[in-house]
Structure 1
Amino acid sequence: MDVPGLAISLAFSGGAFVGGGWWCLRRLTQLRFLLDTPTSKIRSAAQGYTELYGLLRELPQSQVRGPLTGKPCVWWRFKIEEQRSDGKQREWRSLESGSSDAWLELEDATGACLINPHGAEVRPSTREVWSGKQRHPLRVQQQNRLLGLLNSGRRYRYTEERLHAGEPLYAIGEFRTTGASQQGFDPAAAQGAVIREWKSDFAGLLQRFDQDASGQLEDAEWQRVRQAAATEAAVRHRQAAAAPARNELRKPSEAQPFILSSKGEDELARGFRWQALAGALFCLGGALASAWLVNNQL
C-alpha cells in the first residue's frame, strides 16, 4: 500500500468535500439574504440591513481614474501578472493587485446615499484584459535600446475592472443615516456621554469644577457637572440637527453579505444558485472519492 500517495489523495478528496460544502453553504446563505431583503427607496429606507438600487453618480471634485488605462471611473480594481516558464509549461503569476477605496454615491428617485466600498464583494460590468511588454502600461519608461531589448522577452497581462458614473448599481449592506434630525434625542443618555467624555480628562474636569481645590468633586460640584453636561448635550444635538442628513451604506457588522453589483438581483440570484450547485457537486465528489479510497486502499 502506497501510504504517502493515499494520504495525498485523501487530502485532495477531503479538501474538495470541505471546500465544496463550505462554498455551497456560503452561496445559499447569501442567496437567502438577497431574496429575503426587499428593495428600499433611499428616503424611506429603514436603518439596518438594506437593499438599494439606483444609478452611480460622480462625487464633486472626484478625479478617479483606472490605474492601468487612465480611463475616468468611480471605482476600479486591477491585477498585473507576469508570464513565467519552467521549460515545460507556462503560467501567469500575480505581481500586483489592488482596488479603489474611493467612496461611491448611489442615487434613486428619492435621494442619494454614500457607499464605503471597503469589504464589499464588487461585481462590475466593465472588465478589460490585455497584455504587453511593460510592467506598468501607463508608466513612462525612459529606456535605452539595450534595456528595451532585454525587456522584450517578458510578457505581462493586465486586468482592470471599473464602475462608471451613470451605470445602474445593486447594493446590499448596512444602511445608516447620520444627523440628530433623523434620530430621537435621549437627554439622559446624551448627558451621560458628555460626562464620560469629560471624565476621560479628569484633571481638566477638576480644573473646571473643583472650586475649593480639594482634589475631588463634592456633591454640589458634581451637580454643577451634571447641569453643564446636560446643557452641552442639548447644544450638540441642536448643532447636529441643523446639519443635513447623510445616508451611508457600509459593510455590516454581522456576517451578512455586502455586495455591490452592476447586475440586478435576479441575475445575481441565478449565479448564486449555479455556484451553490457547483459547490454541492464538489462536496459530493470529494465524499465519494474519499469513501472509494478508504474502501479500496485500506
Structure 2
Amino acid sequence: MDGHTNGTASAVAVSKLVKRYGDMVALDYFDLDVRQGEIFGLLGPNGSGKTTAINCMLALLTFDEGTVRVFGERITPTSYALKRRIGIVPQNVAVFNELTVEENIDYFCSLYVPDKEKRHALVKEALDFVGLADYRKYRPAKLSGGLLRRLNIACGIAHRPDLIFFDEPTVAVDPQSRNAILEGIQRLNRKGATVIYTSHYMEEVEQICDRILIMDHGRHLALGTADELKAMIDTGERISIETDDLGGHADAADATLERLRALPFVIGADYDGHELTVNCRRGDHNLIDVLQLLERDGTNIGHLSSRQPTLNDVFLELTGTALRD
C-alpha cells in the first residue's frame, strides 16, 4: 500500500449534498473529501446513493443542496477545463462495436485532446498500459470479458486525467484480468492520479484503497483506513469450530451454548449441528477460554479457525446488509 497522500490538498470536496427524486431522498446531506494522490474507496449496498453521488461530482446530475468542488473549483456542466482533468471508467462497458480497439481509444481521447499528433502518442501509451497493443485492430465483439474491461479502462484514461473514477471495474472478469486491472490502477496512482474506486469486492478495496468511505441511504456512515474501520465495530475475532457433539452429547448443546454466551467477551454464539461460530470482542486469550470451556463439557473438536474481522463484517454491522446483497 502506498501511503502517499500529500497533506490536505483536496481533489474532491463534497459538502452537505442533497439530491431528491420526488419524495425519495437519494443523497441526504452527504459529505466526502478525497485528498489528492490517494486511492479512495466508496462502498455501499445497491441503492445506497453511490452512483448518484458520482454523477453529482461529475456535474452530470443537478442537485438540490450542497456544494461539489473538484481541485478547489466548483464544478458545473460547462466546467470544460476541469472536466478535461477527469477520467471515468463506468460500470457498464461503453465502447463502439463498429470501431476497432485503437479507434475506440482514439475517439474517447479526441473528446479531450484535439491535437492528432499528441493523441497518437497517448493512444499508444494507453494500449501498452492495459496490455492491448496486440489487439489494437480487433473489434470489441472479438474480445473476452476481461479484455473488454481493459479497453473500457483505456478509453477512460488515455487523456492522462488527474482524477479517475472507477465504478465496479472488475465485475465478472477472470482472476488474471482482475489482478491486471488492480495493478494498473495502482500504477496510475503512483504516476500521480487520484482515484475514486467503487467495488462490491471487499478484498480489492482492502488491497488498494488508502481510505474507505461506507455510505448507505444517501448518508456518510463511516470513514477511515481498513484497520480504522475494523476497530469501529464490536466484533474483534470470529472463532469457527467443527464439531458434531457440542457439549459431549446431543442434549447438551444448548447448555454449552448458554455457557459460551455467558463469557464476558462473547458477543454471540451459534451452532448448526456441525459448526460452532463464536463472535468475540477484542481479547488476548479468547480462543483459549473458549476451548477450555468446550473441553470441560466433553466436546470433540475438529477443524478450528480464528480470524480478525473483515471489511465485510464492518459493512454488515454498520448497514445491516452484506455488500453482495
Give the TM-score taking structure 1 as reference length.
0.28
Higher helix share: 1
The structure with the larger Rg is: 1
